[in-house]
Homo-oligomer: A and B are copies of this chain.
Amino acid sequence: MIMLESPPVLTIAGSDSSGGAGIQADLKTFTVHGCYGASVTTALTAQNTTGVQAVYGVPPDFVKQQINSVLDDIDIKAIKTGMLFNAENTKIVAQVLKRHFDTKGHIPLVCDPVCVSTSGHTLLHPDAVDTIIDELFPISDLITPNKAEAELLLKQRNFPSRIANLQDMVNAARQLKTLGPQAVLLKGGHFVASLADLANVSSDDTQVIRDDLLDENTNILRVHGRKEQHVDSLVVDVLCASDNHITIFARTRVQSTSTHGTGCTLSAALVSQLARGIPLGEAVRLAAAYTHIGIETAIPIGSGFGPLNHIHSITPQLVSPRTKTNPYPLTSSLIRSSRVIWKEYIRHEFVVLLGKGTLPKENFIHFIKQDYLYLKYYARAYALLAAKSHAYAPISAAIDVVFSIVQESSMHMGYCAEWGITEDELINTSESPALTAYGAFLIDTGMQGDPMKLVVALAACLLGYGEVGLWLKEEARAPDSWVKWEGNPYLKWMEDYSGDVYQKAVKAGLETLESRAEADAPSPIRFADWQNVWERCTRLEKGFWDMAMNLEV
């Protein structure tokens, strides 16, 4: 992922040794969302999927020091608070954040009023509830209580607190907003709603987003997908926005015990979206979907309520980013993956004898005659690449190559003449099997796949001959080198492929390969396909020189 798009975010919460909740869940969520995560620890827990075995509060002063260390140095784009443990820590967090907001401006703040763990363990001293409401809610852009926490908070302020149905949730969200926060997301994970419930509450100022539920005109997905009864067992989250507009997010309920850290994960995903400037409503939708899929794709870890899957939204980047020390990561990995055959191609007996100047003339003549025919395939393959391209730039780039090959062909003819090959003889040369195999493979590869697959196929020849040229030239530099440069009958050939004109084409070819791979990162299947095409072309190149050595026709 591109670090430039990696906004720093901060979580202020408890630590979960088992890694499924708390700052651990937050940091994992920030990371897969491409955010840079910092964390302030308010309390340590010794816990696992079966429950919380022990809690150790961090002294308020040290909580304060951690927050200052982060906010004094790092340009944090959004903050979430989770388990704050007690009134003292809650107070200090609110005070320190207020001070930073006053001096440096407000930072989007999401308050997850964690009071009770999924496993039922109390995570917040009761006397801290008032502090959260009085100190933290007023500076929060959003609070994200679950049903139990909402009831606790409302009770604390003598509101009717029982939440038994969707209408209660809507009312509760509105009441909670009067406690100070800019907006309220009341999570319905602990209870079941139906499509009928959705219909009942919908009104002018209420919008329903049936996220993973099916839109109109997707009967094919419903009929061929899930069982009907699923669709009517819903999880609903209720958002009361700053303008008091209500949005209800509904999705199909999932039966799962992998719910450890669900609340932390949701608010962490929310913060990641807000840090990118995503509007609140869309941020909630994305965060809820991320969390939902995390629950549904989790595999059991531990013997109790396991963590959800935090990494379902990422996949490995198979081609390393281009850097100063490795500007051609794709090419070097392709060469590496076909290391042995690549060396047999570059250091082929034909090349060595040519470098020594002792290559029999008949082998060279046989080679350049077949090479003349090969260039026809090569030109056609580039024409095919142009035909498969969408933009003018790649079309013209490909056609330029075709054009220069066509030109080269006449030079080639003149070159052959110097070796006593008549135009007639050259044109009437019949294709050797090695040539047909290689040429036809290029065309077939071009027909089968996308343009990149053809670009990879075409690269083995372009880059290989460039490598041969540079290798011979470098070897020639060594004192009493085995390479004979001056006076070598094949000097022109060596000069051509080591020369600036050809090497300019090599560099352009490298750029094309790498920039395409960078813009269009391959999946494992595609990457394997590229490696396979590259490796086969390398073999076919070697076979081409075998053919020349054996005078195959």
A279 within 8 A of B: no
State which residues 472-520 of A face B: CB under 8 Å. Answer: 474, 503, 506-507, 510, 519-520
A163 interfacial by beta-carbon distance below 8 Å: no
Q: Which of A1, A320, A325, A447 has the most B CB atoms < 10 Å from its CB?
A: A325
Contact of A216 among B56, B68, B343 (CB under 8 A): B343
CB–CB B314/A315 < 8 A: yes
A65–B56 CA distance with the chains assembled, in angstroms: 11
Contact between B226 and A325 (Cβ–Cβ < 8 Å)? yes
Q: Which of A15-23, A82-90, A434-442 contacts B (4 or more CB under 8 A)?
A: A15-23
Q: Please, could you name 17 A-B residue pairs with CB atoms under 8 Å apart, sorted by A?
A: A19-B39, A24-B27, A32-B314, A50-B73, A53-B69, A75-B301, A212-B325, A215-B335, A217-B347, A218-B332, A220-B467, A221-B335, A223-B470, A223-B503, A224-B507, A315-B316, A520-B525
Bound Cα distance from A28 to B34, whole angstroms: 11
Q: Are B215 and A339 in contact (CB under 8 A)?
A: yes
B503 touches A224 (CB 8 A): yes
Chain B residues whose CB sits within 8 angstroms of the CB of A471 once the complex forms: 217, 219
Q: Which chain B residues border A4 with CB–CB below 8 Å?
A: 299
The one of B27, B221, B292, B521 that contacts A331, using a Cβ cutoff of 8 Å: B221
A317 on the B face (CB < 8 A): yes
Q: Give the CA-CA distance A44 to B67 in the complex, in Å.
A: 12
Bound-state CA distance A438–B40 (Å) is 58
Given contacts A3-B299, A3-B312, A521-B523, 16 further A-B contacts (CB under 8 A): A3-B311, A15-B39, A48-B70, A49-B73, A53-B65, A73-B303, A216-B343, A217-B346, A219-B474, A221-B510, A251-B325, A293-B326, A313-B316, A313-B317, A315-B315, A520-B525
CB distance from A85 to the nearest CB of B (A): 14
Inter-chain contacts of A506 with B (CB < 8 A):
220, 224
In the complex, what distance in Å separates the CA atom of A336 from the CA atom of B326? Answer: 40
Number of chain copies forming the complex? 2
A-B complex: 8 closest residue pairs judged by Cβ atoms: A48-B73, A46-B65, A219-B470, A19-B38, A17-B66, A252-B325, A450-B450, A46-B69
Q: Which residue on B lies nearest to A466, using beta carbons?
A: B220
Q: Across the interface, which residues of B come within 8 angstroms of A74, CB to CB? A: 18, 48-49, 301-302
Fill in one digit per residue for A370-386: 1 if any B CB lies within 8 Å of its CB, else 0: 00000000000000000
The answer for the CA separation of A6 and B41 in the assembled complex, in Å, is: 26
Which B residues are in CB contact (< 8 Å) with A312? Answer: 1, 3, 317, 320-321
Q: Which residues of B contact A332 (CB under 8 A)?
A: 214, 218, 221
Given known A311-B31, A525-B519, contact A324–B19 (CB-CB < 8 A): no
B54 touches A56 (CB 8 A): no
CB-CB contacts below 8 Å: A442-476 with B: 447-451, 453, 463, 466-467, 470-471, 474
Chain B contacts for A317, CB-based, 8 A: 312-315
Docked complex: A326-346 residues within 8 A CB-CB of B? 326-328, 331-332, 335-336, 339, 342-343, 346
A522 located at the interface, meaning its Cβ lies under 8 Å from any Cβ of chain B in the complex: yes
Interchain CB contact (< 8 A) of A302 among B73, B225, B230, B342:
B73
Contact B293 A323 (CB under 8 A): yes
| Contact A310-B31, Cβ < 8 Å, known A69-B46, A297-B323 | yes
**A356 close to chain B: CB less than 8 A:** no
User: A411 to chain B: closest CB distance in Å?
Assistant: 23
B217 touches A447 (CB 8 A): no
* Cβ of A8 under 8 Å from chain B: yes
Q: Taking CB as reference atom, which chain B residue is nearest A343?
A: B217
Contact A225 B314 (CB under 8 A): no
Given A4-B299, A317-B313, A521-B315, A18-B38 contact (CB < 8 Å): yes
Q: Is A298 an interface residue (CB 8 A)?
A: yes
